[in-house]
Amino acid sequence: MNWRGTLAEGIGTFAFFFIGAGAICTNAMTGGQVGPVGIALAHGLALAIMISAFGAVSGGHFNPAVSIAMAVVGRLSAAQTVLYVIAQLIGAVIAGFVLRLVFAEAFPAAVSGAPHLGTPGLAPAVSFGSGILIEAILTFFLLLAIFGTAVDPRAPRIGGFGIGLTVAFDILMGGPLTGAAMNPARTFGPALASGFFDNHLVYWVGPIVGAIVAAVIYETFIMEKKREA
């Protein structure tokens, strides 16, 4: 078992969500001073730095959908996947409750109001099914970036920044529609801390399906196979 990697997944997930969801809370508290671009960059930069810091230790997943997809294509054992997902959910929950501690007194609406501690939610015009589709497509792009910049031996060595920028551009498009979570833990942590679980299943089904489809396509059709001698 990779216990160092498991710890890294918990710490990295906490940092990613504390900054990303925290930016949403700060944006609400300041009347929009962070803005959608700032929120996208907060998520993207936080993820890029955490992947660069911990990628060599754990692979830098910080996302149950990523870990499950890696397991499906044989790049992570079932036991390690379970440990990673547990660590990611714990990191997410700690981030959610620390954000509650930070904002509950200074800005109570961040907990009980529309931000709900940065918990993603569907726009009024977006149905449950459309939400799943959007989250699946956004996560599909994320997994392509992960494989193309980190997993593939031919990948350019750019740290986590290709992956972080993918999260940023996904949020710029999908943020107003679904919150662009691309990550079940990203929704679960602040949802548990705020009590906001509306359409919660969207953020498990969509990301996991999108991640698995992308991983299988890349592994099967794009990854260069080793030739037999």
At the top level of CATH, the class of 3-222 is mainly alpha
- Profile the chain (229 residues) by mean pLDDT over runs of 10 residues: 95 98 97 98 98 97 98 98 98 98 93 95 98 98 97 93 98 98 98 98 98 98 77
3-state secondary structure of 216: helix
Domain boundaries, the chain: 3-222
3-state secondary structure of 74: coil
Q: Tokens 């031919």 appear where? A: 154
The C-alpha angle with vertex 204 and arms to 77 and 183, in degrees rounded to 5, equals 75
Which pTM value belongs to this model? Answer: 0.97
Task: Report the C-alpha gap between 114 and 28 in whole angstroms.
Answer: 9
Task: Report the C-alpha gap between 40 and 136 in whole angstroms.
Answer: 18
- The identity of residue 149, as a single letter, is T
Task: Report the C-alpha gap between 110 and 18 in whole angstroms.
Answer: 14
pLDDT per residue over 181-217, tens digit each? 999 999 999 999 999 999 999 999 999 999 999 999 9
Structure tokens at 31: 């009347």
Structure tokens at 153: 């031996």
